[in-house]
Amino acid sequence: DIVMTQSPDSLAVSLGERATINCKSRQSVLYSSNNKNYLAWYQQKPGQPPKLLIFWASTRASGVPDRFSGSGSGTDFTLTISSLQAEDVAVYYCQQYYSTPYTFGQGTKLEIK
Amino acid sequence: EVQLLESGGGLVQPGGSLSLSCAASGFTFSSYAMSWVRQAPGKGLEWVSAISGSGGSTYYADSVKGRITISRDNSKNTLYLQMNSLRAEDTAVYYCARCPGQWPNDAFDIWGQGTMVTVSS
């Protein structure tokens, strides 16, 4: 199984400041034949299902504000929120869909400082 | 509107069975692979099972293999999860999720609201 590890477990950032969440996979999720990283980021607010933010490591899903960006390749990935808004308070998960079982990181809880 | 609506959750005794359904609407159901993802109370997300758009290929997490069966009826736009020999550790909210393609090796772009399964005596 591909183990996904996020850091930090929790994060407090001031409104308008940058938030950065890291995700590391124990093995590469870069598929060499198409040069795509099989890595997604999700946002989950309390009492709601997860929402897809980023897929292929860096492609924003439809309707996702451009303050959210994803980067990285191979085994190391980052989700960045360039200017934190109050509505961004949530738990964020990375997920690999390179191979089954499709594993998630443990989650990072983002709060306002 | 693209929508997924789960049903069938509830309280079941250890060793019991339960069948979950996920009704899809607003898109061509047979063109998309589907997955079930669960979340134990206060915990993170765990992928459970996936099925290709045609239903011809299925995939399972080791934690549920042999106890859970995923299936779909494309004529009814419905995804199913038959769960047998349930254990306390199966207690979770079960979400169905869509993969934007025929095969499940893709991100989950649409999620249902979830249905709660509680395994307890």
What pLDDT, on the 0 to 100 scale, is given for residue B102?
Answer: 85
**According to the model, what pLDDT value does residue B62 have?**
97
Residues 6+ apart with CB under 8 A from B113: A49, B4, B5, B6, B95
pLDDT of residue B104: 82
For residue A95, what are the β-bridge partners?
A40, A104
B33 SS3 class: strand
A68 contacts chain B (CB < 8 A) = no
DSSP secondary structure letters along chain A: ---EEEE-SEEEE-TTS-EEEEEEESS--EETTTTEE-EEEEEE-TTS--EEEEETTTEEPTT--TTEEEEEETTEEEEEESS--GGG-EEEEEEE-SSSS--B---EEEEE-
Average pLDDT over residues B34-47: 98
For A41-69, the pLDDT digits (tens) are 999 999 999 999 999 999 999 999 999 99
Chain B partners within 8 Å of A61 (Cβ): 107, 109
B interface test, pick of A100, A103, A104, A108 with most B CB neighbours within 10 Å: A100
Task: Write out pLDDT tens, residues B94-111.
Answer: 999 999 888 889 999 999
**Cα nearest neighbour of A94 on chain B:** B45
**For residue A69, how many other CB atoms are within 10 A of its CB?**
16
Closest chain B residue by Cα to residue A95 = B107
**Spans in chain A with pLDDT lower than 70:** none
Which of B81, B37, B28, B5 shows the shortest CA–CA distance to A100? Answer: B37
Coil/strand/helix, residue B28:
coil
Chain segment B56-100, per-residue pLDDT in tens: 999 999 999 999 999 999 999 999 999 999 999 999 999 999 998
Contact A71, A62 (CB under 8 A): no
Please count the residue pairs, one from chain A and one from chain B, whose beta carbons lie less than 8 angstroms apart.
Answer: 62
**Percentage of residues in chain B with pLDDT exceeding 90?**
95
- Give SS3 for B90: helix
Q: Do A55 and B106 touch (CB under 8 A)?
A: yes
CA distance A54 to A58: 6
How far A71 CA sits from the closest chain B CA (Å)? 16
Residue A96 is predicted with a pLDDT of: 98
| Chain B residues bordering chain A (beta-carbon distance below 8 Å) | 35, 37, 44-47, 50, 59, 61-62, 95, 99, 104-109, 111-114
- CB distance B53 to B30 below 8 Å: yes
C-beta of residue B42 within 8 angstroms of C-beta of residue B24? no
Contact call for residues A54 and A60 (beta carbons, < 8 A): yes
What's the gap in Å between the CA of B38 and the closest CA on chain A? 10
Number of H helices, E strands in chain B: 0, 11
